[in-house]
Structure 1
C-alpha cells in the first residue's frame, strides 16, 4: 500500500522558515544598543554605590577576617568596575552606533541616525575642543594650569614655561583633531577620502 503524500503546507509548518542573515548595520546597531544598556545600568548602580558608601563602609569595617577581606574586595571591585563599565558601554554604544549608520540595514531611521552621528562627532572632537578651551583660557587669564604635577605658569613671571604650556595644549589639540578628522572624513566626505 503506498504511503500518503504529505502536503507542502504541513511540511512548512513543521520546519522553521530560514531567517535571512542580519546585515552588518543591523549587527552594529544591536551591539550599540547592548553597550548603551550596559552604560544605563552601570551608571545609576555606580552612583547608588558611591552615594551609599558612608553607610556601607562602617558595616564592612565591623567584620573580621576572611569576611572583611571578601566584603572589602567586593566593594572595591564594584567601585572600580561600575564607572568603567558605564564609560566603556557608552563609548562602545557610540562606536557601533556610528558604524551602524554607514552600513547597510534592513530598516532606515534617519532621525536616529542624525542623533547618533551628532553624538559621535561631539565625543570624537571633545578632546580637541577641551585642549582649545585650555589655550583660550590661558590666553585670557595669563596663567596656565597643569594638574599632575600641580603647577601654574604665569605669563608675567615665567613666560617661557607659560608659552611652552600653551604650545603643549595646541599640539595636543591638533593631534586629537587630526585623529578625529581621519576617522570622520571617509564618513562625512566619502568622495574626497576616496580621491586620496
Structure 2
C-alpha cells in the first residue's frame, strides 16, 4: 500500500477543516487499502455519512483520523480492519447522526478511539466497537454523551498499558454541552455493555460496575 499525505500542509499549520484532509469520502463510497502519513491535519472526512472505511492505517494522527458528519438517524458508517497511532485527542470523531460500526481496530497512544460529539447539539448517536487491541489509551476507548441518549456496545476489547496503569476507562460517559464534561465510567444497566473485555493484565470481565472517575 502506498502512503498518502499532503505536500502543502503540516499538522501544526492552519485551521482544522475538511480541506486539510487527505481523503474526502462521499456517501456510499469506500476508502480501502490506504496508509495516511503525518503531513495533514484531518486524515479522512466522511461529511455525508454512509461511508465504508476498510484497511486504512493512520501513521501519525494530527487532529482526528476520521471525521463523520451529516446523514440521518438510519445512516451507518463502517470502519473495518484499520489502525491508528499517536492521536493526542480523537481517532474517530462522530459529529453526524446515525450509527458508526468499528470492527477490527489497532490503536496505540491515543486519547479516545471513538468520540460522540459533545458540542454538536442534542443528537443521539450509536456506536458498536468490537475486536479492538488498544495500547496506552490516554482517556478512554469510547466516550459517549449521557444526556443525548447515546448508545454504545463494546465486545472483545483488549487493552494494554506499558506503564502498568490499571485505571483504564474503556467506556465513559460525557455530559454534552458547549463545554462537555466527563462523568466517569458507565455501569451495567445503562446503554453500555462490555463483553469479554480484557484489562492490562489480561483478566476477563463481563461488565464495568464503577461509576466513579
* Same fold, judged at TM 0.5 (above): no
* TM-score normalized by the length of structure 1: 0.23
Q: Which of the two has greater helix per residue?
A: 1
* TM-score normalized by the length of structure 2: 0.22
Which has the higher Rg, Structure 1 or Structure 2? 1
Q: Which of the two has greater strand per residue?
A: 2
The higher relative CO (CA closer than 8 Å, separation ≥ 6) is in: 1
